[in-house]
Chains A and B, each alone.
Chain A
Amino acid sequence: MEKNSFLHRVDPRVKIVFWVAIALASQLLNDPFFIGPTLASLFLIFFLGRPTGKVRKLAFSLSGFVAGVYAFWWLFLARSGNPIVDLGLVRVTDWSLWLGLGMALRGACNVMPIMILLSSTSQERLIAGLEGLKVPYPICFGIAHGFRLLPALMTQWSTMAQAQRARGATLGHGGWFFRHPRESIAAIRDAPALAVPLFVGMVRTMARLSLALDSRAYDVDGKTRTKAIRLTMRKSDWIIIAVTGLFLAFVIVMRLGFHIGWMTP
């Protein structure tokens, strides 16, 4: 059953537009002074949807991971500023630290709007939102079915990994980080033992799925299709659109007009 928070009641089209706008805006900012408050606002909005513990954990983990990936290079590759750590090849300066932080926050800003969208929108409403934004129906259906197939794919992956481990393959045993480099090499060597059956299994599943779709008179064009949900924009939705538009416009002017909010690496 879908929750009834303010965020859940926002039109899915608005949430999709919000996601795109924030993604664009975050590409134009990397100064922590500007990107930091943006990220803080995103977290605030995220909590408006009253996410469950699991969803919160996922959001933090994913944001943290992406932030780490974004930060890594700039932390060590940027050369300007006063050195804090200087080991020759490895060099961290005050400027690279600040830039790394900005990039990390930017990475998290790319993740949080998606989490806001997915944690507060049912699959049905998500598809309705995409259709409402004139995304072709086959793409909408593919996205919806992708979500549905993901748990099945994870189960298949687990079953196949078990089947190959039973034959002595080294596959993610003990996590991605193995105790000995030899195990890591063995895992890479044994990767095809999982990748090939998984790929073949997916192809077979898709083939069966397509026959099942044909048997349900699936209409690619979707022209005669009845929509289960009719979306209507409320006043609050228009306000959110307006604020989002203003924010994006502000960022563009600031960045391109006044060169503010951006630290050149």
Chain B
Amino acid sequence: MEGTVTYGDVSFSYPYSEVYALKGVNLTIHPGETVAIMGRTGAGKTTLVSMLNGIVPHSTGGKLEGTVQVLGLDIMKHEQVELARRVGMIFDDPDSQLFGLTVEEDVCFMLQQIGVAMEEAKKRVKWALDVVGLQGFENRYPRDLSGGQKQRVALASTLAPMRDILVLDEPTSELDPAGRFELLQTLKKLKQELRLTIVLVTHYSEEAVELADEVYLLSQGEIVHKGPPREFFADVENCEKYGVEPPQVTQIAFRLKDYPNTSKTYGFPVSLPEAAIVSRKIFDNIQSALSSMKFTSEHVTNEEIIELRHVSVSFPTRTGTPIKALQDVSLTIHKGELIGLIGQNGSGKSTLSKIICGLLVPDSGSVYILGKDTKLISPRELFRLVQYCHQNPDDQIFNTTVFKEVAYGVRRMKLPKEEIETRVKKALAAVELEEFEEKDPFMLSRAERRKVATASVLSMDPAFIVIDEPTTGMDWSGATKMMEFIRRINSAGKTIAIISHNIPLIAEYTNRIVVMDGGRIILDGHPRDVFSRRSELLPIGLRAPQVTELFQEIGMNETILTVEEGARVFASLE
């Protein structure tokens, strides 16, 4: 298969907008090349790649200046359908791109659209499913598959029509770590075996390092930095300036720039194996330096505010066999803790959180909040004590102003008007949205809507808050800001549990981690303790942060959690 793409001085603005989404972009993608596009949310990445199959501008409208050539076709002179036949695209949300009742039907969808005979279509479906590692899945229902499997079905559906170019727009952002790993391995296999031209939009530097031949950094519609992964991420300052997180092992290298000897030995690795090789050269010196270094792993031992005793929950399924979402779970939460709740999708994290917040009732066992059995607490009283901030803020937002939205819950507490206003203003100040009181929440960015949803929970002043996936879909700088904001709320006295797949941020910001698998708590302790248990994490598809794994690879006993700690270790050798 052949593929070539050329952007010639491309500028683009959406309808009714005076702001350019893309400005003067020049970019060439050669046949068989894999290109990663990175940048902050809103930088123009999706606009850029959506031109390849003609969604921009044919479906979106807008004004395009310059030329975009895809396989010799000028996108302005050809119908969107014609371009879509040559360029496959996969989006971040698996559920909104599957059309068939069965996997076979879904993969066959486009083949039918373009008039491929059914006998040939069935052969191609089988081939495509084999390539993505889903042999025998033809009659399965997509809704029963995991996120990673659904994305592989979407991948198969783009491969079956034998397209020349594959575009993936943040394909792993909604997946758990196991799903991300599955998809990444499949893409590596496709790159090696089929030599497709691949364009990948991602926030994850590991994906760019493992797949891309060339990486481009977009900011406000312009390409501001580019290069092969090694050169690209070595410019750590530039990456960080534009909101891209380099691999942790590369960040360590940057922080060693003031320590010339160590820096010279360590170099600028971009992957874990590479960093491990160079680190072993200085390993012998590390152990002796470590004895004088202290790494905290203090547990919070304040009063208990929540206790679960032998809680079990089952859900019915279509097959008739109930699924055990929680199995005999016991847990104690102390005031002031900032807990990271991690595990694969379906491990029981959300169920556990909803049990604590009274949104679900256990089949057996008891839940105590501030010493009271929740069976004896009215719903109205319960929601004053514990709150659950859903993953998608759009599941909650419905008012016409931010003020009304934040006041919604606290109004139901039947408090005096003045107190309601005080609480709302205080909550808005905590999330740094004081100036947004009269704005329409639907007009805000996703991160801002996230903050509005969190403020609406804060205004009720509960003793305990669960925040579900606060950083999903955010770029690195947005995710870091969100975690800083959560830490500030925790420091002000709130006990918080965060459900997240962002392991590096959980390792850095929390003081306790609870690991779940199959409805049970597998590990529970300080991040340093939990991430030292590699042999227990790997079988359940979880990996420690890259910097942690680096020091584990070279045989260190101490568990390093952050880039700063890792750099401090190496710097101590100077």
Contact = CB atoms under 8 A, between A and B. Distances in A.
Given A159-B395, A166-B383, A169-B412, A226 B99 contact: no
Nearest to B99: A145
Given A122-B101, A167-B396, A200-B394, A219 B113 contact: yes
Contact of A166 (B111, B157, B387): B387
Contacts of B121: 226
Interface stretch (A13-21, A88-96, A210-218): A210-218
Contacts of A228: 105, 108, 112, 118
Given A1-B139, A167-B412, A208-B91, A215 B394 contact: no
A219 B101 contact: no
A166 B359 contact: yes
Contact of B143 (A151, A197, A211, A227): A151
A161 to B, nearest CB: 9
Contacts of B85: 217
Contacts, number: 133
With most chain A CB atoms within 10 A of its CB, the pick from B80, B96, B442 is: B96
Classify the interface of chain A: helix, strand, loop or mixed: helix
A166 B109 contact: no
Interface string A149-193: 001100010011011111111000100000000000000000011
Nearest to A141: B99
Given A167-B412, A168-B412, A208 B395 contact: no
A225 interface: yes
A212 B412 contact: no
Interface in B101-118: 101, 105, 108-118
Contact of B59 (A1, A209, A214): A214
Contact of B84 (A152, A162, A200, A214): A214
Nearest to A222: B113
B398 A226 contact: no
A201 B460 CA distance: 25
B408 interface: yes
Given A215-B84, A217-B84, A225 B113 contact: yes
A152 to B, nearest CB: 6
Interface in B468-522: none
Contact of B91 (A145, A165, A212): A212
B258 to A, nearest CB: 47
B101 A123 contact: yes
B113 A217 contact: yes
B285 to A, nearest CB: 53
B132 to A, nearest CB: 16
B395 A166 contact: no
24 contacts: A124-B101, A124-B105, A162-B388, A166-B388, A167-B409, A167-B460, A168-B383, A197-B394, A211-B91, A212-B99, A214-B53, A214-B55, A214-B59, A214-B80, A215-B88, A216-B84, A217-B85, A218-B113, A224-B113, A224-B115, A225-B112, A225-B115, A226-B121, A228-B105
Closest 7 CB pairs of A and B: A168-B412, A196-B398, A167-B409, A212-B97, A208-B96, A224-B115, A215-B89
Interface of B: 53-55, 58-59, 80-81, 84-85, 88-89, 91, 93, 95-97, 99, 101, 105, 108-118, 121, 139, 143, 157, 161, 354, 357, 359, 379-380, 383, 387-388, 390, 392, 394-398, 408-409, 412-413, 442, 456-457, 460
Given A144-B101, A166-B387, A215-B88, 12 more contacts: A1-B139, A145-B99, A151-B143, A162-B390, A166-B383, A166-B390, A197-B398, A201-B394, A212-B96, A216-B84, A216-B110, A224-B113
